[in-house]
Structure 1
Amino acid sequence: MDQGGAPPVFSASAEVDGDHLRVVVAGEVDMATADTMIQTVLREPAERVTLDLREVTFFDSAAIHAVVRLAQRFPGALTVLPSRQVSRVLSISGLGDQAWLRPA
């Protein structure tokens, strides 16, 4: 079956602006893609990181672990912009009040 213009299951792209890195992630972040999300962040040197997850449609425990690892790697310098789904998963997992998480 041809899916035509169907969106990709996962994508991550990085934009650097001085010492600030913005990584935009779309689609499903799971066991198969969470490490790619981390590697996309770590590929570019940065002092501040914005992880834009507003286009993420699925977020599992591997994704949670990946975001926690990034928060540990960039203490006080990580901002996560969640989709509604990501906010819900982080809230259920007890991480909904983290300083790095911005309201959806």
Structure 2
Amino acid sequence: MDQDGAETDFSASASVADGRTTVVVRGEVDMSTADAMFQAAVAEGAGSATLDLRGVTFFDSAAIHALIRLAERFPAGFEVIPSRQVRRVLDISGLSGQPWLVQGEPG
């Protein structure tokens, strides 16, 4: 839910290839949707995961917690492709230097 109580625009679609789950996330990732993002990444039982967050417009502390849990679950095979909004939140949170964060401008 957003601050006005309206439904948020959120989707997380996963695909698996060569043992890597790729999850494309769009919309708002907050306390009502962060677990859905996490579950999409772990559902197929792959050994590594990529989160494509280029379509994410809002990202809160629950979303950060989900990223940390995924980084712990996939210690050698996790990457995050952030939107500008996600990158800003991770910068403010002190997480911009994490090895799983893809550097550079999103496409």
TM-score norm. by structure 2 comes to 0.87
In structure 1, list runs of 5 or more residues that go unmatched: 1-7
Post-superposition offset of 1:21: 0.9
List aligned pairs for 1:1-104, cutoff 5 A.
9-103=9-103, 104=105
CA distance in 1, matches of 2:47, 2:79: 12
Provide the C-alpha distance between the structure 1 equivalents of 2:65 and 2:42, rounded to a whole number of angstroms: 15
Q: Match of 1:73, as an amino acid?
A: R
Question: Displacement, 1:45?
Answer: 1.4
Counterpart residue number, 2:5: none
- Number of residue pairs matched? 97
Q: CA deviation at 1:18?
A: 2.1
Moved over 6 A (4+): none
> Per-residue displacement from partner, 1:35-73 (whole Å, max 9, x unpaired)?
000111111111121110010000000000000110011
CA distance in structure 2 between the partners assigned to 1:61 and 1:20 by the alignment? 25
